[in-house]
Amino acid sequence: MEDTIKQITSYFNEFEKKIFMASLDILNSDNTLKYHFFAMGIREVIRIFLERNAPDDEVKNCSWYEAFYYDKNANKEITRMQRMVYSICGGISVVNIKKELNIDIEKSAKELRNKMDQLSKYVHIDKEVVDRDSDKNNIIGVLKILETFLCQITKLRDNFCETYEKYMMNVIDEELVSNTICEIDIIATHYEEAEFELDDIKVKEINSKKLTLEIEGTLGVIHQYGSNSDNRNNDGSREYVRYPTKCNIKLAINKVFQCDFNSFEFEKWDVNTDSFFK
């Protein structure tokens, strides 16, 4: 059980850990309803975890929040399903994700909700709960539900991000580097962009309106020292050099599958020129 507890707490922040450990501590009391309070604490820590990963304002800013309810009887309150979906893919349409990446986020979120519903039999007060003795199997059962829920929602987000990263690797190429990069300007009087080799793409952040990608690659340039005339007269020189580089790109949520380079928001390129000065 110690390994399970350690795994569970790895997903929590300090406040969530505090609630979780307090829920465990109550099992050491003589309170008749200790199993009820234990299970209720576990269910509450899931709620707190979801609210941290899917804040109210962000969920309500999603285009699908009012247009597409995941629960037939949903009202204006944010549902658990909506928080789960946001925790996995932010404001991106689950319809578009299924179409472009063949990942059924809605189905997966329903399965997660079913995991949460399993806690009800432990939370609701009945004779079995009141009369239950110190049965470790019941305690482990609740903890396993929690561990599975946390593990699955994390894996679902990771799977979505990894699949989308592979999708973008097939789209982004040399067109990314189109402007003068100031880090290189200070090294030589002129340079020519020879190539950009894309090494990696990572989803850095997803919220209700933007998806941020971090791209890493190698920029190959030809440095020119002196003017064209100097080089023709052998008074200058040209040198091909490769530099590690990275940059963040922001994409509007409604354009994450359109790959319109004109709509990309590029942050400042970070070119590592340390090798030049060694």
Q: What is the pLDDT of residue 67?
A: 46
Q: Taking the domains of the chain in order of start, what are their residue ranges?
A: 2-169, 174-277
Higher pLDDT, 246 or 120: 246
> What 3-state DSSP class applies to 195?
strand
**Per-residue pLDDT at 177:** 53
Whole-number pLDDT of residue 47: 93
Looking at per-residue confidence, does 196 or 39 come out higher? Answer: 39
Q: Is the pLDDT of residue 189 over 60?
A: no
Whether domain 174-277 has CATH 1.10.10: the reply is no
Indicate if the pLDDT at residue 89 is higher than 60: yes
Q: What is the pLDDT of residue 238?
A: 67
pLDDT for 220 beyond 90: no
* pLDDT for 127 beyond 90: no
pLDDT of residue 211: 95
User: Does the pLDDT of residue 237 top 80, yes or no?
Assistant: no
**Average pLDDT across the chain, whole number:** 81
Q: Residue 30: what pLDDT?
A: 83
Work out the burial of residue 82: count CB atoms within 10 Å of its CB; fewer than 13 is exposed, 13-18 middle, 19 or more buried: buried
DSSP 61-128: HSTHHHH--SSTT--SSPPHHHHHHHHHHTTS-HHHHHHHH---HHHHHHHHHHHHHTTHHHHS--HH
Q: Is the pTM of this model over 0.85?
A: no
Residues 5-63: tens digit of each pLDDT: 999 999 999 999 999 999 999 888 888 788 888 888 998 999 999 999 999 999 999 98
